[in-house]
Amino acid sequence: MNKKVLASPIQNAHWIQLNNNIDKSIQLGSISALHTGSLNIEAVSEYLTTLAERLDIIRTAYEVDEFGGLWQNIRDLDPVELVTEDWRGYTDAQITQRKSELTIFGEQQSSDFATPWLRLVIAQQSNGYWCCLEMSALNTDSFTLTHLMQLILSAGSEYTHDAQTWLQNEVIQYEELAPWLADFLLDDDLTEARQFWARDKSVAALVDKCTLQRYKHDGKSEYKFDYINLGDIQDEISRFAKQYQATSAEVVCASLRLALKKFAPKAELVRMFDSRSDSDLADAIGPLSRAVPLFPEVADNFNDAIQNELECSEHGVDYAECFAKSHDHESAGFSFIFDAVVNVAQPTLQLEQVKHLAEACKLQFTYIQQESGSRLQLTYDNSYVDDQAVTYLLNQIKVALINHMGISTQRLGAEYQSYGKVVTTSGVTVLDHVNKVVAAGNGNVVELNGKEKTLADIDCAANQLANYLQHQGIGKGDVVALCMVRSVEFVIAMLATMKAGATYVPIDIDLPHQRITDMLKDAQATTVISVGEYEVTGCKNIDLNELKLEQYAATAPDVTIQETDLAYILFTSGSTGKAKGVSISHKALLNHMNWINDEFTFAKDDRFLQRTSASFDASIWEFWAPLMVGATMVIAPSEINYDLPLFKRTMHDYSITRLQLVPSLLDLLLEHIDGSVSFTLKSVFCGGEALKSSTADKAMQTFNCEVINLYGPSECCIDALFWRYERATVTDFVPIGYPINNLHCRVVKEDGDLAEIGETGELQIAGDSVFNGYYGQEALTMAALVHCDTSHLDFYKTGDHVQVLSDGNLMYLERLDNQVKLNGYRIEPDEVSMIILNAGLAEQAKCVVAGGGLSLFIVAPTASEAELIQLLANKLPEYMQPKQLIELEAFPYLSNGKLDTKSLIESALNHTKADYVKPETEVEIQLTHIWQELLNTSMLIGTTHDFFAIGGHSLLAMKVLNRIQEEFKINISVRVLFQNKTIAELAAHIEPLLLLNSASNEELECMEGGLL
């Protein structure tokens, strides 16, 4: 006759997690083992039936009442399922497959908790009997599974006496224990302790951040199992345990805690404790174990770690009672759990796997102690870590255990070093590929203003200009500056300079003239090519408008270019107060271009949008890729970066297939695409900033194209690593990937050792794309490179802090120095302050990033504010000019003597020079609301505040422009905002336009009225 009893708290907690988890693995408890002796299967069958008769928990099913209460329903005896098979003729692969089939069947059949589940499978193999015992997960724990397996197999072997003796003892039924378990800690004095442990301590056990966790996953979640053998060191574990009067499990757990801190420094390992410490319950059958968030103090050494673990064990059972009743986090489960089983009674029995999840965890470690067969099993959520990471983790844990016990000092030998594909470079320079394209009659260059030329025409003009340059004495070893807007003429000049054997320096003519002069002086440039007169001190000016090139040959001059010759010099921000000239060889440029053309199968039917300023390295491949594959290059003016309607129209009208932009601009573009216009993009390339996974995913869906994250400092020729975004990515940001062809990457920790999987350090890069040095600045070059005696390579120290993911992919974390990226621009804040100090115009100066912009602090200036601002305007591009100049009597310092940078940043955020002037007109009030919202500042914005001085920048300017166009129904360019930087100025510009619109509407209404 059936009997009903309320479920225990442990069963209730497990039931809640079962209902919250779709994986059937958590519904089944099982244990598998190999029995190497003889086995009487008939005796086993009889004993199994007897056990089912004696132990109510085996016959227990479950039901839920109308109030949601869970009840144990103890059923009458059903026939016990015993499956026997013969695998003696099977191959290893066939045996593995059959085990999997049996496991899946058991998971499916045990999912109905209204029926008890007990099944024993015995399969005879050439080396013994494989046995697997399955029970409903609510009816068991790891001890119960192990003990029952030992009893059942003992009954059919030479140890049958032990099994029969156990049956003769008095059996404590689990339903008798359930009320007792529910009544733990009824003493009022202990209620507060229970609440504390159940609420506060359990929070720490929910932390699951681990450096080995997945960065991509397809959404399917299941528990999987792996293990590492500890049998070869079990004697040492036992010896160590005896020395500390500890159990082997405590030794392994202490080592595991230390090892996990390497990968999950903020997470805590939860141990399983049960109520079998009472001698009367020593071999009680049923779910008596629970996970307890009891965390020993973090130890600096293994000896202390073991002592802490022993103390943990002393309190474990008591604290376990705190979790006997429901607690705040029981539905979530804890993240990392440690359990242990001991099998030392029968030499003929070797446990293989214990499957019982105590919690819906991320990782559950189960130490199986059994002499030479000891192992550490890991049950893991496959949506959290992948198989490769698990294998690595288990190996790391074993190495740590060996080192902790002093057996030997080992390293796993898994230092991260990643190599791009080794390929033979095709050609000596990029010109070799351009020549083939010209011969095939492919390639075009188009400007948005309507100008269009074939590559053949451009190549002819470039040859003539190259011959002219040679006639002027310009050739190998010379440096030529290209000072003009991006245009057909720019492409001609770039090709011509290279054809003449010289090195080109792309210059943005919007830069301050003094900065251009300083850069060209550092580059030792002899010539400036421009469209229109452009004078630079010390350089000869060649005005393309004034040249008569028809008299020069239309074939390229005979110049032999070596791969080590410089192709171009590109200037980046420097911390010394002056820009650094990054010199790139033909070998480096060709290596990058061959890689990107091949990797993404650029072809002649592609159409590239060339929109990046020529002074930034991202523009280099926008120019050379279409030239090398015979595609169409569409050159857009700089205004496109601030005019979203023009951007979208260009992408559509010119059928752009390849697009590159910084993530922040991509975000803004995606915000303003409504699906009314179709696009033809094949690839969107992002770089210059960290790419959010959400942005990449939205771009992939919006444009139906691939999204590629590019990473690379200018010193490594544009791009050094890349990764194609996958929709399975689960991290907030997209990884930066793996090295491109012929590059070698490594990650170096603070102590100088190479990082391993899961660790972090500075990314260093060597190989064919690494620069030749900072032009004319040998000391800076030496400081940026480090020589490796083993590989005989010079590695460029990027200064970027990265993490090595489980499969060798890299995730960017942060800068290790003061260099920053603002809106995709690489900036050394110290360059700003050094300009003031080098000029002797202040005793102290410090530039910091605050509120999305640069703020410059000065002490004891010797020049007026206007003079300082003018000096910076002459020396720095607009994106590097500080938005605030703040004078202090003295800099704040910390107690250790270091500058208190945090205090400076707070001062910058709270600083406003202009007095608040309240907006008065409707237009001023409306504009103030727009600024206040988009600048996202708590500062009260007045009509005299400068947009760019209170946190505004080019991308925010685009957002403001779009809001103005939407709300005021007028069409203005972004230049209006750059020219009218305050609310008052902007309102004065807009109000006449609104009056004009109003007058036009009235006139139209009058006309319509007359027609009626």
Nearest Cα neighbor of 176 from 75, 278, 72 is: 72
SS3 call for 141:
coil
Q: Token digits for 257?
A: 């805690």
Nearest Cα neighbor of 465 from 570, 551, 531 is: 551
When the pLDDT of each residue in the chain is averaged and rounded to a whole number, the result is: 87
Tell whether the model's pLDDT for residue 183 goes beyond 80.
no
Q: Token digits for 899?
A: 């500058």
* pLDDT for position 36: 92
* pLDDT for position 654: 95
* Cα–Cα distances in angstroms (integers) from residue 644 to residues 677, 765, 960, in the given order: 13, 37, 12
Region of 442 (left: φ > 0; alpha: ψ -120 to 50; beta: rest) is beta
- Taking the C-alpha atoms of residue 743 and residue 418, their distance in angstroms, rounded to an integer, is 8
- When computed from its CA atoms, the radius of gyration of the chain, rounded to whole angstroms, is 36
* Cα–Cα distances in angstroms (integers) from residue 467 to residues 555, 675, 849, in the given order: 8, 50, 48
Strands (DSSP E) contained in 783-824 are 785-788, 793-804, 810-815, 820-822
SS3 call for 710:
strand
- Higher-scoring residue by pLDDT: 1000, 289: 289
Strand 223-229 and strand 375-381: pairing? antiparallel
For CA atoms 541, 544, 545, 551, the dihedral sign is: positive
- Calculate mean pLDDT across residues 744-765: 92
* pLDDT for position 377: 96
Tell whether the model's pLDDT for residue 999 goes beyond 90.
no
Q: Token digits for 982?
A: 């305050």
- Taking the C-alpha atoms of residue 308 and residue 314, their distance in angstroms, rounded to an integer, is 10
The 3-state secondary structure of 842-878 reads: EEEEEEEEECCEEEEEEEEECCCHHHHHHHHHHHCCH
- Calculate mean pLDDT across residues 361-376: 92
CB atoms within 10 A of CB 40: 14
Q: Token digits for 742?
A: 């012929």
- Taking the C-alpha atoms of residue 697 and residue 729, their distance in angstroms, rounded to an integer, is 9
- Taking the C-alpha atoms of residue 817 and residue 814, their distance in angstroms, rounded to an integer, is 9
SS3 call for 352:
strand
Nearest Cα neighbor of 994 from 927, 897, 899 is: 927
Nearest Cα neighbor of 701 from 723, 722, 687, 684 is: 684
pLDDT band at 409 (very low <50, low <70, confident <90, very high): low
Task: Give the percent of the chain with pLDDT over 90.
Answer: 50
* pLDDT for position 340: 94
Nearest Cα neighbor of 225 from 504, 494, 31, 54 is: 31
Nearest Cα neighbor of 252 from 346, 363, 369, 146 is: 369
Nearest Cα neighbor of 119 from 105, 130, 100, 133 is: 133
Out of 186-195, 410-419, 796-805, the most confident range is 796-805
- Calculate mean pLDDT across residues 322-351: 75
Kindly report, residue by residue over 693-739, the tens digit of the pLDDT. Answer: 989 999 999 999 999 999 999 999 999 999 999 988 888 889 999 99
Residue type, 120: L
Q: Token digits for 704?
A: 């139906």
Q: Token digits for 179?
A: 């009320």
- In the sheet with 289-292, reading across from the earlier edge strand, the strands are 223-229, 375-381, 363-369, 336-342, 269-274, 289-292
Long-range contacts from 700-706, C-beta under 8 angstroms, 24+ separation: 700/725, 700/727, 702/670, 702/673, 703/679, 705/681, 706/682
Query: What string of DSSP letters covers 966-994?
Result: HHH-----HHHHHH--SHHHHHHHHHHHH
Task: Give the percent of the chain with pLDDT over 70.
Answer: 91
SS3 call for 625:
helix
Contacts of 913 (CB under 8 A, 6+ apart): 884, 949
Contact 134, 110 (CB under 8 A): yes
- Return the residue matching tokens 């053949």: 456
SS3 call for 130:
strand
SS3 call for 167:
helix
Nearest Cα neighbor of 491 from 449, 432, 434, 547 is: 434
Say which range, 192-196, 481-485, 724-728, has the weakest mean pLDDT. 192-196
* pLDDT for position 171: 84
* pLDDT for position 457: 96
Nearest Cα neighbor of 629 from 603, 605, 651 is: 603
* pLDDT for position 123: 96
* pLDDT for position 216: 79
Residue type, 555: T
The 3-state secondary structure of 41-83 reads: HHHHHHHHHHHHHHCHHHHEEEEECCCCCEEEEECCCCCCEEE
pLDDT band at 1007 (very low <50, low <70, confident <90, very high): very low
Kindly report, residue by residue over 305-321, the tens digit of the pLDDT. Answer: 999 899 888 877 666 66
Q: How far apart are the first and last CA of the chain?
A: 94
Say which range, 135-144, 192-201, 450-459, 893-902, has the weakest mean pLDDT. 192-201
- Taking the C-alpha atoms of residue 546 and residue 532, their distance in angstroms, rounded to an integer, is 8
**Domains of the chain by start residue, with CATH:** 3-180 (3.30.559.10), 190-404 (3.30.559.30), 430-438+453-560 (3.40.50.980), 828-910 (3.30.300.30), 922-1007 (1.10.1200.10)
pLDDT band at 893 (very low <50, low <70, confident <90, very high): confident
pLDDT band at 133 (very low <50, low <70, confident <90, very high): very high
Kindly report, residue by residue over 68-105, the tens digit of the pLDDT. Answer: 889 999 998 788 889 999 999 999 999 999 998 888 77
Contact 302, 254 (CB under 8 A): yes
CB atoms within 10 A of CB 98: 16
pLDDT band at 204 (very low <50, low <70, confident <90, very high): low
Tell whether the model's pLDDT for residue 327 goes beyond 60.
no
SS3 call for 899:
strand
Strand 527-530 and strand 479-483: pairing? parallel
* pLDDT for position 1: 58
- Taking the C-alpha atoms of residue 912 and residue 909, their distance in angstroms, rounded to an integer, is 8
Tell whether the model's pLDDT for residue 188 goes beyond 60.
no
Residue 769 has, within 13 A of its CA and on its CB side, a CA count of 32
Tell whether the model's pLDDT for residue 1011 goes beyond 50.
no
SS3 call for 216:
strand
Q: Token digits for 158?
A: 């030479």
For CA atoms 25, 30, 31, 32, the dihedral sign is: negative
Nearest Cα neighbor of 886 from 851, 870, 910 is: 910
Label residue 780 exposed, middle or buried (CB < 10 Å: 0-12, 13-18, 19+). Answer: middle
| 601 secondary structure, DSSP code | T
Kindly report, residue by residue over 900-944, the tens digit of the pLDDT. Answer: 888 888 888 777 655 678 898 999 999 999 988 888 876 788 898
Contact 662, 689 (CB under 8 A): yes
Say which range, 27-31, 405-409, 545-549, 762-766, has the weakest mean pLDDT. 405-409
| 180 secondary structure, DSSP code | H
- Calculate mean pLDDT across residues 957-973: 86
Dihedral of the alpha carbons of 418, 422, 427, 433, in degrees to the nearest 10: -70
- Taking the C-alpha atoms of residue 830 and residue 362, their distance in angstroms, rounded to an integer, is 45
| 826 secondary structure, DSSP code | E
- Taking the C-alpha atoms of residue 384 and residue 891, their distance in angstroms, rounded to an integer, is 47
Kindly report, residue by residue over 626-682, the tens digit of the pLDDT. Answer: 999 999 999 999 888 888 888 999 999 999 999 999 988 898 899 888 877 889 999
pLDDT band at 244 (very low <50, low <70, confident <90, very high): very high
- Calculate mean pLDDT across residues 997-1005: 57
- Taking the C-alpha atoms of residue 6 and residue 478, their distance in angstroms, rounded to an integer, is 90
| 25 secondary structure, DSSP code | G
Strand 820-822 and strand 289-292: pairing? unpaired
- Taking the C-alpha atoms of residue 579 and residue 523, their distance in angstroms, rounded to an integer, is 11
- Calculate mean pLDDT across residues 760-776: 95
Report the length, in residues, of the chain.
1012
* pLDDT for position 281: 81
